[in-house]
Amino acid sequence: MPKPFDPSKRHKGLLMFHGYHVDAGDFTEKFGWAAEGFVVLAIDVRGQGGPSEDTTKTKGGTLKGLIIRGVEDGPANLYYRSVFLDCAEAADLLAGMPGVDQSRLYAMGGSQGGGLTLATLGLVPTIHRAYVNYPYLCDYRKAYQLGAETNGYDQLAYWFKYRDPLHKREAQFFDTLEYIDVQHFAASIKTPLVWAMGLQDQVVPIPAQFAAYNQLTGKKQLYVLPEYGHEFLPKVADEVRNFFYGLGGFKGLISAGCGRTWAKPAHRAAE
């Protein structure tokens, strides 16, 4: 929280979601946002790197991967179903904190944190603005088709290899995972959103990301960095700050590689 904190004043609230298997991070990483007047809430995703516990019980395999945790029990017991609800509850908790302006809630995250941000926006439409970079948990079918053994969805291939090598349950497997696929939240998201990706991403495939991005119907802006992968994306953070403060408009695709065949000819292409 900003210091000194005056609960009689209304402050912006910021939800922060972390990447896969780590934790909410150090307090020092949040000081900059607090200094700018944000009340920051960063959650530890259950059963990952922080102290939050995962109490899910499942009859299926538990050795590798959280996407597939509970998949053999049906949609109601999927690990990420519980995590998505945790994120929505975190948004409600932040909105109810003393001194937080419920009309100015923000959310951000990268990789798994990006996927959780999208799920939260779908469940909590009152969030004011959001930022994601290379969000995980998008289009499991496509990620598997693109070679899950070598990308961040290797647990899908693992499940078939050890739980269903003849693929007799393939249809049921992917139908169940549809319940935790964030592309299905995208169409209902109206929150203005900035999205950043690196075209060399070998962890979260670009087509899987676009499965969600293309379904967003609200205001959106995409930053594409052709030479970067699933890593720190430079120069984007300043753009996000401007976006959160309402500086500048939405220009659709903003690419650093206007000569690539996937990009429109103009350096800044308007939607």
Any idea which residues carry the catalytic annotation?
111, 201, 230
Dihedral of the alpha carbons of 168, 20, 212, 178, in degrees to the nearest 10: 30
Q: Is-contact 106 127, C-beta < 8 A?
A: yes
Could you give the residue ranges of the DSSP H alpha helices within the chain? 31-35, 79-95, 112-123, 140-145, 154-163, 170-177, 183-186, 206-213, 236-244
Q: Is-contact 229 202, C-beta < 8 A?
A: yes
Q: Is-contact 100 92, C-beta < 8 A?
A: no
Structure-token pair, residue 118:
């999208």
Q: Is-contact 125 111, C-beta < 8 A?
A: no
Closest CA to 82 of 110, 43, 130: 43
CA dist list (Å): 112 to 23, 45, 61, 115, 266: 11, 10, 21, 5, 32
Closest CA to 45 of 74, 70, 76, 80: 80
